[in-house]
Amino acid sequence: MSVKFLFATMMAITSLLPGAALTAAAAQDRRQIIVSGPWSAQEAKEKGRKVCFVEAAPAKNRGAGNQRKDAYLQVLHRMGARARRRDVVEIGLFVGLTLPKKGPVLVKIGRSQFRLVARGDRAWTPSPKEDRRLLRAMIQGNLLVLRSLTAQGTKFEDSYSLKGFTRAYYAARAACGLKVPARKKKRKR
């Protein structure tokens, strides 16, 4: 088999995975909506459909040495793609290292803990229900910590600040025409 065929097949399969990154074409055609803390809200077109997302790099990395590629966390809405409802969120972590096929990939936010599914250098929640649960924890939390092993067995930990996440996330939702919760007005005393 040719290398081109294997690469094309791998990219086609990868693009169907939950938590998959934007396609290369969409990644190049981004428009930034807002930056809030370490979080960037953006929109792009992917196969003619609008994609709205937020992403950030880890504030801190521990372990795994300098063998890493870029790592980031992405929360996105693909409008009309594979979704029966418009309001479907996908959360993907891209760790920049090859993860073990059956090893634990754990995310902790405050007291909430999540076990993720891994393939290659990506990890995501096992179900849309867990996506929503993780999203709620991200909106309410301050720090997201990812802990796992590389395929070679090296422990590593990434920490993502959640400061500014909620503002960026709601800006991305609004850009996709999705409902954004109204802000609660502060009472005057």
Please state, as a whole number, how many other Cβ atoms lie within 10 Å of the Cβ of residue 26: 19
Q: Which amino acid belongs to residue 54?
A: V
Residue 118, pLDDT > 90, answer: yes
Determine the pLDDT at residue 85.
Answer: 54
Which tokens sit at 50?
Answer: 């609008």
Query: Which of 19, 12, 72 lies closest to 47 in space, CA to CA?
Result: 12
Task: State yes or no: pLDDT of 84 exceeds 60.
Answer: no
**Residue spans of alpha helices (H) in 77-175:** 128-140, 165-175
Q: Which helix (H) or strand (E) holds 167?
A: helix 165-175
% of the chain with per-residue pLDDT over 90: 48
The CA distance from 89 to 78, in Å, is: 8
